[in-house]
Amino acid sequence: MEEKIHIDWLSVILYIIIVLFGAMNIYSANSGLDEPLSLDFSKEYGKQVIWISISAIVVFLILLTDYKFFNFSAYGIYVIIIGMLLVLLATGSFNKGAQAWFKIGAFKLQPSEFAKYATALALAKFLGTFDIKFEGKRNQLICFGIILLPMLLTLLQNDTGSALVFTCFILVLFREGLSGWWLVLGFYLITIFVLTILIPSWYILLFLLVVLGAIFYFFRKQKQLVFVSVLIFLASTVYTIGLDFAFSKILKPHQQQRILVTLNQDVDEYYVNKQKGFSFFKFEKKADEKKSESKRDYSYNVRQSKISIGAGRWFGNGFNNGTQTKAKLVPEQHTDFIFCTVGEEWGFVGSTIFLIVYLVFIGRIFFLAERQKNIFSRVFGYCTGSIIFFHFFINIGMAIGVLPVIGIPLPFMSYGGSSLISFSMLLFTFLKLDANRINEISRLY
């Protein structure tokens, strides 16, 4: 039977719009002021053109590939990527310093970017395998294993940001039947974790006690609910005090500071406040000067980022006219902080349109994923959407100062070959699968 290609053109058009818009912003952030519009391949915006070209070739190759290839070779690709990560770790330990890339000529290849793709394939393959149901405990463990292995290896390379991205696969598992309570629990634990660090832990306990009291008062009759509440309260108390103890007493000052910095805290101020007020565990050491330097760098980034975006006002300074952008005041502006350029040069109106376009794009991927008739394609689709969504959420949340500083790129926008190519592979592999869903049905039935 003839295989028809019904590629989802809406996704392709949105993809092209975002990639080109990204290139424009990289150009803006990267070129000097009053510089004539030109293509300089020695500069990042010039290189980005090369990356876009390579991505186009990769996309073309994927579209030419038989859709069955991805299902067939999913584990193979996963194993190869894991192997590459291990090799990097090994050479890293040899060279006394973690390295996150392979050097190929002038270009750096970052396997961790491709690890997401490989993990998505492997997860889709496992869940898509005939007879496997996510409900089984053993299968669930395998799923977590598939996710945790590359996550751990990335973490060992000190690439915390990329490692965190792997948590987005939880979303996929949620779609595949993981109880929503797990998400709620995760959210609860993260909230308590953050709060324990930010405010004295006895505040949290006091609050939980009040909630418990309220439950006692209003739901006296429902013995089971009260019982569960007490259990949760006790567990939360242990968790909170444990966290407080671990943070205050077990972690070394530089580790504490790293967490504080990520949470946008002024380290010195934090220590002073912590020593003043009542808390269960006192810090013995004060922040040492050298380490608090790095915190200034982070808070500097976020502050500059907010200033850049704020400078845009309603309509922005216009393309290639952002003064903060041109002054190169935001570090990493062409990579992780590319949204600053959008904010400054396109203003509130432009940024809002951009956000909406991007969210429609992600929504479209989820929509396409849901309409898949086979599990492999559906899981892979949800993986694609979740990865892009997670990046989008963290990256822009960081740029506008509502989320901690976690350095991960904005898919299709940020400068970088590995990032653009891997995300293009991810998207078009899924679009290829989607295009063939008709064939898939005809094959199954």
Residues that bind another protein (CB under 8 A): 32-34, 171, 174-177, 180, 304, 306-314, 317, 321, 323-324, 326-329, 331, 343-344, 347-348, 351-352, 355-356, 359, 362-363, 366-367, 369-370, 382, 385, 389, 392-393, 396-397, 400-402
Question: Residue 391 phi/psi, 5° resolution?
Answer: -60, -50
- The answer for residues whose C-beta is within 8 angstroms of residue 421's C-beta and 6 or more apart is 51, 54, 55, 58, 113
Closest separation in Å from C-beta 109 to another protein = 29
Residue 360 Cβ, how far from another protein at the closest point, in Å? 9
Minimum distance between the CB of residue 433 and another protein, rounded to whole angstroms? 17
Compute the least distance from the CB of residue 409 to another protein, in Å. 17
Q: Toward another protein, which CB reaches closer, 84 or 311? A: 311
CB-count burial class (<10 Å; 0-12, 13-18, 19+) for 197: buried
Smallest distance, Å, CB 44 to another protein?
A: 15
- Tell me whether residue 329 or residue 420 sits nearer to another protein (CB atom): 329
Please give the Cα distance from 429 to 423 (Å, whole number).
Answer: 10
What is the closest distance, in whole angstroms, from the C-beta atom of residue 143 to another protein in the complex? Answer: 15
CB of 152 or CB of 357, closer to another protein:
357
* Choice between 217 and 314, CB closer to another protein: 314
| Nearer to another protein among residue 271 and residue 339 (C-beta) | 339
Which residue, 4 or 371, is less far from another protein as judged by CB? Answer: 371
Cα angle value 252/257/259 (rounded, 5°): 100
Nearer to another protein, 116 or 258 (CB): 116
> What are the tokens at 322?
């952002």
Residues 6+ apart with CB under 8 A from 81: 111, 114, 115, 117, 118, 150
Q: How far is CA 398 from the centre of its chain?
A: 11
d(CA 85, CA 163): 12
| Closest CB 366 distance from another protein, rounded Å | 5
How far, in Å, CA of 64 to CA of 66, rounded? 7
Cβ at position 397, least distance to another protein in Å: 7
Q: Which is nearer to another protein, 343 or 409 (CB)?
A: 343
Tell the smallest beta-carbon distance from residue 327 to another protein (Å). Answer: 3
Identity of the residue, 112 or 386, whose beta carbon is nearer to another protein in the bound complex: 386
Amino acid code (one letter) for 266:
D
Smaller CB separation from another protein, 229 or 372: 372
What are the C-alpha distances in Å from 431 to residues 365, 375, 385, 436? 9, 15, 12, 9
Nearest alpha carbon to residue 82 among 121, 54, 55, 51? 121
Say how many Å lie between the first and final Cα of the chain, rounded. 13
Handedness of CA 295, 298, 302, 307 (dihedral sign): positive
Give the CA radius of gyration of the chain: 24
Specify the residue, 234 or 356, whose C-beta has the smaller distance to another protein.
Answer: 356
Vertex 98 angle, CA 94 and 103, to 5°? 85
Q: Which two tokens stand for residue 163?
A: 């490692």
104 φ/ψ angles, rounded to the nearest 5 degrees: -120, 105
Which residue blocks in 37-136 are alpha helix, DSSP H? Answer: 44-64, 68-94, 111-128
Which one, of 311, 403, 319, lies nearest residue 354 by Cα?
Answer: 319
Least Å from the CB of residue 135 to another protein: 11
- Whether residue 287 contacts residue 268, with contact meaning beta carbons closer than 8 Å, is answered with yes
Shortest Å distance, C-beta 20 to another protein: 22
